[in-house]
Amino acid sequence: MHERLSEKLAQMLEQNSSSHGVSLNHLLEKTDGRGFYLVVILLALPFIIPMAIPGVSTVLGLSVSLLSFKLAFGVQPRLPKLMGDRTLSPDYQRKVIKGSVKIVRIVEKFARPRRTPWMTTRIARSFNALLMTLMGLLLALPFPPFPPLTNALPCYCIILLAASMMEEDGVMIWFAYLLSLGTVIYLALNIFVIFEAVKKSIELLRGWLT
């Protein structure tokens, strides 16, 4: 029977836990295949709530991008020591498992191994990994708190892409593509609005000074 995502995530953390905690690089070393995508989902989970977290989102977004970029080119995924070797305490692991089960269970209701030939090709896997790299970079952008969903949308894209790749779901991946396209358009519009607001503020400031 195909193992459920939520069960695999809990099992992965429990099997690799210790009294001193576990690091993400340790999880990456001890897991392969589906385990890699679970680590990526784990990194995106803190941003499920539609709230901007500039400092944390930058670090974790860049981590997702780095891992996905390495995956796209067949390089062994590993995070820099600053992020990857930092241990997750047993208490934090329990909180992660408890908090992630709900969202992962929602995803796994729809994700299933609907294998299609194109999903297993090297080109498709590299493209999907590069798209996940882009979503990680968008998550890392230091947006101010007021535009809604600036962290949540890239997070949803990362989770859908990772779950689709992990399950080789040739149906869900198209929803991930559509959401990714919508996310790029939405964030591009927000960047334009912010740029125009900053531009007008500078012009007003210059007018006051002169």
What pLDDT was estimated at residue 205? Answer: 80
The tens digit of pLDDT for each residue in 82-138 reads 777 777 666 666 666 666 666 677 777 777 777 778 888 889 999 999 999 999 999
| Residue 180 confidence (pLDDT) | 96
Q: What is the value of pTM for the model shown?
A: 0.81
Cα distances from 130 to residues 51, 74, 184, in angstroms, run 25, 12, 14
- How do residues 53-93 score in pLDDT, each as one tens digit? 556 778 888 889 998 998 898 887 777 777 777 776 666 66
pLDDT, residue 54, reads 53
Amino acid making up residue 105: R
pLDDT for the residue 130? 96
User: What mean pLDDT value characterizes the chain?
Assistant: 79
- Give backbone dihedrals phi and psi of 87, rounded to 5 degrees, phi first: -80, 145
Q: Per residue in 141-173, pLDDT tens?
A: 887 767 778 888 999 999 999 988 888 888 899
Please give the average per-residue pLDDT across 177-205, as a whole number: 89
Kind and range of the H or E element at 88? strand 87-88
Give the model's pLDDT for residue 177: 96
pLDDT of residue 131: 96
